[in-house]
Amino acid sequence: MAIKEQSVQGLLAKFSEELKRHQYPISNMQCLLAKGSELETFALSQGVEEYTVELGQQFLSSFYPVSGKFASYAE
């Protein structure tokens, strides 16, 4: 199944909605959304507007030096 292209901003908006829907505690939401904001800043610094698995890998690798590839799962 092909993964639909999604802007980073759109992805983060949906992420926020899901956190609220699942009634995450406010403190947890703030922490997770702050990391999402860092992802958005990282994407903009790379000149990227659309989220891709590769962008996510680059973002994570900037914090945690890893080798190899991350597994990706489609719905």
Q: Give pTM, 2 decimals.
A: 0.77
pLDDT of residue 34: 96
Cα–Cα dist 23/37, whole Å: 20
Cα–Cα dist 35/33, whole Å: 5
* 34-73 pLDDT, tens digit each: 999 999 999 999 999 999 989 998 998 888 876 666 666 6
